[in-house]
Structure 1
Amino acid sequence: MRYISTRADSGAASKSFCDILLEGLAPDGGLYLPVSYPHVDADTLERWRAVLAQQGYAGLAAEVLQLFIDDIPAADLREICERAYTAAKFSDPQIVPVTHIGDGPLWLGHLSNGPTAAFKDMAMQLLGELFEYELGRRDDWLTILGATSGDTGSSAEYALRGRARLSVVMLTPAGRMTPFQQAQMFGLDDPNIVNVCVDGVFDDCQDLVKAVNSDAEFKARWHIGAVNSINWARLVAQIVYYVNCWLRMTAGPGEEISFAVPTGNFGNICAGHIARCMGLPIKRLILATNENDVLDEFLHTGVYRVRSAQETLATSSPSMDISKASNFERFIADLFGREGAKVRELFRQVASTGSFDISGTPEFSRIRNQYGFVSGHSHHSDRVATIGRLWREHEVLIDPHTADGVHVAEEFASSGSEPIVVLETALPVKFAETIREATGSLPPQPARFAGIEDSPRRTVEIGNDADELKNLVAATAGAVHNA
């Protein structure tokens, strides 16, 4: 399996999985994708069903990942998966159980049982093991530079803390995360972890990361890598739980289910798109946004229009307060048949004018008909009402982002007969005030988080300035790695 950039022309040189694992963003500013997706037939799916039953989630993960990773021996890859996905880490022997919401068509895929109570743990625990394995093979080190709107940062830091060959510089938008999210990250005192509060919104943080990555000399000098979903390894890990949910929801080949996915950065649902392209029987991919509805607007109009920092709203589902969906470029590359020049042109338009419009193209009509995408959005009142109703009627407690997914899924439930799995994004404890508003009570707090919000906070504050960030990255990497 070889990988190329979304912006590469036909015939461009390809790279191996382990090379792009450590590289993150492609040198041309694009994102890596397989040259072509592997195809999964009915026989393979039934074999995987047996693997899941006999070897659990870790065994399934190894089977799926082998389709994308041919430069790690199969035995080593299986051991990596077995270390990443344990019942001790994920509080459930199934790792990702699926449960019914009442007796209707909606189900919950529980992705948030990991160390930081967020679905990002599903990829980050694997990523930590992959990084350590490959850096050990190469006798090398890596500086992880990332940005988070809420959950990516803590998931990455808990997966990478204490690993000798890795340091982490994680950017957050100052004042935009919940107190619990801040405590999870800012309470860490590991010497290889540095939390940075940026004067701006998440998109500003993401732009700073891309700006540093675009300086090839600096990136090479300080061994800059990525854990954001711009890193292909994040997406390939997420494909596994789509397969897991389909296997748990079906009895045999050909049965279709749909997924409702809360998303702001298009990473989570992009993994579902790839799983569907591989042949997993997914009928619809139901995209749910909050008030920051850039992706919902695109799927309805064909106009992709990013918002400024001033237009990006602070909402009660803060991890989706994103107006530049970095993973969206991967889908656009697929939509236009991997035509690198076209992808470059569209995102050049975004950089210069803030938008592009494909509403009159044949490609736009294929988004729903060929790729199965539909979408909707949710507001604060919707998510509060949804959380309260599910708790009163079914004693099912969900977080605000998952509530966005449930709200939008319910809009589409009557237009099809298939089950819809709503992908949970986090445990309610991370958004206590919204839960109290919706139910009248604070959510239960798992014992492992007792007293977390009382811990001292350790952060560095910077302006929205790439040079200031570079100085911090160099100082951090120099100190941790004696570079």
Structure 2
Amino acid sequence: MRYLSTRGGVGYKTFEEALFSGYANDGGLLVPEHIPQISLDDLKKWKNLSYPCIVEKIVSCFVTEEELPHKTLQKLIFSAFSRFDTDKVIEIASFGDLNIAELWHGPSLAFKDLAMSVVGELYSYFLSKRKKHVNIVVGTSGDTGSSAIEAVRGKDWIDIIVILPHKRISKIQELMMTTALDGNVHVYAADGFSDEFEITIKSLFADEEFVRTQNLCSINSINWARVMVQIAHHVYLYLRTANPIGSPVDIVIPTGGCGNIASGVFAEAMGVPVKFVCVTNENDIIHRIISSNDFTVAQEVKQTLACSMDIQIPSNFERVLWVYSGSDPESCKQIMGQFDKSGRAVIPEDLHKKLSGIRTAVATDREVLSTQKICYDANKYIACPHTSAALTYYYETSLNGSRKSSGTRLDSGELVPVVICGTASIDKFPDTLGKSGIRNYKTPRKIAELFQKVSRFCIMNKDEDWENTLRNKIDLLSRRAAY
């Protein structure tokens, strides 16, 4: 398997090269040269496998034995999930026909840990083998940063720079990053939303010489390995809820940057009978694209309770386009090039029709809070605001779109099973509970202790040259690693 750019200007890279890449230098994202297939017989054989075993199966579809020996892969996966608080890694809370997948049992209490923990182990394996130092640059809208830090903190051969949107995420999200005092962790708090500094990061990766000389890479979901590992949880959720194997399942995803839905679309393209619903907050660009072909950046990013979804430039939508276009680099180059240049693009009618197979809904803060309370009253289950956004589709409280009106149905008219992706623990967002009227919550000791720890971070002011600041820091880290 080799990897190439969605825009056709870069290829063919090995998995190891793709692992240590961010944006391709033509502006695109790396994808596999072909999409491997999972047969119905495979799915039936995998039905009772554990989640780590499913990860092993999926990674083996994209990485050869020569690049990563099977026994080594098994050891890396075992190590990756050793810090999760449940042996199952993923728990599924079921209430009648409602299934909430708890994807957040890792060290940073967010679904990003599922892939990030594996990617961190892959980094350690290849870097130790090559005796090579890298500088990782990660922009975060809330959860990715702490997950990335937990994946690589204290590891040899790695320095990580994380940029977070200062005072635009929950205090606990910030503290999970700024209290990581390991010598290889460097946190910057930018006076802006993640879309703003993502432009800066993309500019860094467009400088091919700088990327090469500084060994620059990213473990955001622009990194193919992140998307690859995330395919596994969609397969696992399908196997746990399909009845029988071979019949469809709806998976509802709270959506911001599109990393999770991109992984889901790859699972679908590999032959898994999954159908998807994307629920956005008021930063609804994905809803507008799919419902009305309005691929336009809004004038501003709205700050919401589901803050990790406060995104108007969904970087992984490009991979979704690539899959639905039939792996056509020219379509991606034209559409995404136009979007990069002007903040708007028009998707050809035939391609947009294919995209409409993904259903969408929008949840404002008001719907998020009311649904959080509805779910609690019905099930004594407290969902985080992002998960609550997805739950609006189930409870018919979203502004548009509901399971009753657009859920997948069998020939009999019966709705297929539905799984809500629970993307973070409520422990990261307790401030929403007072607003939704939920009282019986106790702060876990692990969270309370964050407020007693020392924080360390650097401010990047609005009028500062962010790219120059990051270039200087990266150069400093590279020179330090050389000694």
Under a length normalisation based on structure 1, what TM-score does the superposition of the two structures give?
A: 0.93
CA positional deviation for 1:251: 4.7
Secondary structure of the residue that 1:414 maps to in structure 2?
A: helix
CA positional deviation for 1:443: 3.5
Q: Map 1:28-427; keep pairs closer than 5 Å.
A: 28-50=26-48, 52=49, 56-70=50-64, 71-86=67-82, 89-100=83-94, 102-103=95-96, 105-282=97-274, 284-308=275-299, 311-358=300-347, 361-368=349-356, 372-411=357-396, 412-415=402-405, 416=409, 417-427=415-425
Contact 1:38 1:67 in 2 (8 A): yes
Between 464-473 and 140-149, the greater mean CA deviation after superposition:
464-473
- 2:394 and 2:12 map into 1 onto residues whose CA distance is 39
Amino acid at match of 2:41: D
Structure 2 residue 473 is matched with structure 1 residue 482: no
- 2:6 and 2:198 map into 1 onto residues whose CA distance is 18
Secondary structure of the residue that 1:150 maps to in structure 2?
A: coil
- 2:16 and 2:60 map into 1 onto residues whose CA distance is 13
Contact 2:371 2:395 in 1 (8 A): no
CA positional deviation for 1:419: 1.2
Amino acid at match of 2:90: V
Q: Tell me which residue corresponds to 1:438.
A: 436
Distance of aligned partners of 1:440 and 1:47 in 2 relative to their CA distance in 1, 3 Å threshold: closer
Aligned residues: 465
Q: Deviations over 1:30-78 (max 9, x none)?
A: 101111111111111122224x1xxx32222111210011121111111
Instruction: Provide the identity percentage.
Output: 29
Distance of aligned partners of 1:246 and 1:202 in 2 relative to their CA distance in 1, 3 Å threshold: same
Amino acid at match of 1:61: V
Amino acid at match of 2:349: T
Contact 1:266 1:328 in 2 (8 A): yes
Q: Deviations over 1:142-179 (max 9, x none)?
A: 11001001000000001100001111001111211111
Secondary structure of the residue that 1:195 maps to in structure 2?
A: strand
Q: Deviations over 1:54-111 (max 9, x none)?
A: xx3222211121001112111111111111123xx221121112121x32x3210110
Contact 2:59 2:228 in 1 (8 A): yes
Between 165-174 and 346-355, the greater mean CA deviation after superposition:
346-355
Amino acid at match of 1:320: M
Q: Deviations over 1:123-148 (max 9, x none)?
A: 11101100000111212111100100
Structure 2 residue 22 is matched with structure 1 residue 24: yes
Q: Deviations over 1:170-211 (max 9, x none)?
A: 111121111101111101111100000112211012111111
CA positional deviation for 1:22: 0.9
CA positional deviation for 1:219: 1.0
Q: Deviations over 1:334-367 (max 9, x none)?
A: 2223332332221221122210122x61111112
Amino acid at match of 1:304: F
- 1:232 and 1:303 map into 2 onto residues whose CA distance is 27
Under a length normalisation based on structure 2, what TM-score does the superposition of the two structures give?
A: 0.93
- 1:194 and 1:441 map into 2 onto residues whose CA distance is 37
- 1:366 and 1:59 map into 2 onto residues whose CA distance is 32
